[in-house]
Structure 1
């Protein structure tokens, strides 16, 4: 049986995180190294890595926002600064990014990371809803979210700067 460990990310994980980011997303959708470093330093509880047999093969990052019924497209800008929106007194958990190396996909690791982050943050903070965006083309990720009670709330046309300028679906779950 594989040895699996989920833990808080550290600055020392940045090379692995960037490798996962580059393998998981289209080139023009990658977020910058500095963005991940800020996420790790500002909200370490909300940034987890998954190790299999001692190898970092996945990550998930998040922020806590003040809840707003209104959904604005600029809330989800790639490479935004966590320091401008994150507050531990907020009530909505924003899943900002999740990635798994290709050779580890379809084994349930994304679901495992997502579940562990959700459990950990909901236990420690006053969270009453969760929000995220997903490309209309990322069917596996969308399935994980829908199976976890997320509902489609808003469509952002041409959000992703990929080969098809794919639309983003904003999904939200109330706890």
Structure 2
């Protein structure tokens, strides 16, 4: 694969990010185009895209808060987001299916962790499906337990990473 670039998202990235989100997540699990746009506009420093020389191939987005409640569905719309918050909540880490299994999510996650450290954040939180717990553990995330979230009608697991 050709060289990749990781950068902050902008509004021109909306359609491609929504396409990737829609292809990669089932049903109600995927964020709407409006939610993705709000995340880009509200917290661009917490929304990174990875692109090759042709197109965006994946992204990671988040919000910041002083107090984290991972089952809070309103936070996915950045209700309660505070850019000065010391905690980060990842909402999506997604790579287009054509580029999965090639280390792209690792490149994104490592860049994201470095960016959050540079911003002085203290901890990163996320919820994930059972099959992704081990992947996040490879980046240093600690398993916290099952989540009260029923986002998309699914069961989730909570994890965190101290920065």
Q: Distance in 2 between the 1:85 and 1:97 partners?
A: 18
TM score, norm. by length of structure 2: 0.90
2:125 corresponds in structure 1 to: 131
Q: How does 1:105-120 map to 2 (within 5 A)?
A: 105-120=100-115
After TM superposition, the runs of 4+ consecutive aligned structure 1 residues lying more than 3 A away are none
Q: Does residue 1:156 correspond to 2:156, yes or no?
A: no
The Cα shift of 1:98 comes to 1.2
The Cα shift of 1:79 comes to 7.4
Q: Is contact 1:31–1:78 with CA below 8 Å preserved after alignment?
A: no
What stretches of structure 1 of length at least 5 have no aligned partner?
Answer: none
Using a 3 Å threshold, how does the CA distance of structure 1 residues 31 and 79 change in structure 2: closer, same or farther?
Answer: farther
What stretches of structure 2 of length at least 5 have no aligned partner?
Answer: none
TM score, norm. by length of structure 1: 0.85
Aligned residue pair count? 163
The Cα shift of 1:28 comes to 2.0
Query: Could you list the per-position Cα deviations for residues 134-162 of structure 1 after superposition, in whole angstroms to 9, with x for gaps in the alignment?
Result: 012xx2x333310111112131367243x
Decide which of 132, 144, 149 is 2:135's aligned counterpart. 144
Q: Distance in 2 between the 1:28 and 1:72 partners?
A: 17
Q: Does residue 1:94 correspond to 2:85, yes or no?
A: no
